[in-house]
Amino acid sequence: MELFAQPENVKHLRSFYDAIAGGDFTAARQYLDPSLEWVGPDAPGLWFSGTHRGPDALFKEVVEPAYGKMSQFCVQMKKFYEVGDHVVAVGRITGRNKMTGRELDAAIADIWTLRNGKAVRCQSYHEPAKWLEALGKTPPQAQRLAA
């Protein structure tokens, strides 16, 4: 008998991230509502910046390009906190840029809203400077300082 049972929403999101990690995007989609709104950081120069609506947009505009640009790409969520219909997932994203060989090791925090076992919204927090560095781009702040 499990002493502390995982809340159902946490189980769904763990399964979602496990499916993503395994490259099984079809399995991952079952945890997303068709009306999903995924909001990335406001980070010019990063393809996942801004709002993406629907599971198709999430995969085509955010997830698949990440796998296309990075080898050994991995999103590893280590902690999950459930508060009502919301789950905060905290972890790390790692990988290596296929073009430059630069490594990515950045913190990530996703705040999910779930209804009836499906994710309807995600606000995703990244470290844009680390992404830009791994992609061989100069962060906007560094560009201003150099001018």
pLDDT in tens, 40-49: 999 888 999 9
Lowest mean pLDDT among 2-16, 95-109, 132-146: 132-146
Instruction: Please say if the pLDDT value at position 52 is more than 90.
Output: yes
CA-to-CA distance for 73 and 8, rounded, in angstroms?
Answer: 27
What's the pLDDT score for residue 75? 95
| Nearest to 30, CA basis, from 15, 52, 8, 11 | 15
User: Is residue 101 scored above 70 in pLDDT?
Assistant: yes
Residues 61-82 have a mean pLDDT of: 95
Mean pLDDT value of segment 68-93 = 95
The mean pLDDT value for 29-35 works out to 97
- In the chain, where are the structural domains located? 8-146
**Residue appearing with tokens 């100069």:** 138
- What confidence category does residue 145 fall into, taking pLDDT thresholds of 50, 70 and 90? very low
CA end-to-end span of the chain, whole Å? Answer: 62
Q: Which CATH fold topology does 8-146 show?
A: Nuclear Transport Factor 2; Chain: A, (3.10.450)
pTM attached to this predicted model? 0.86
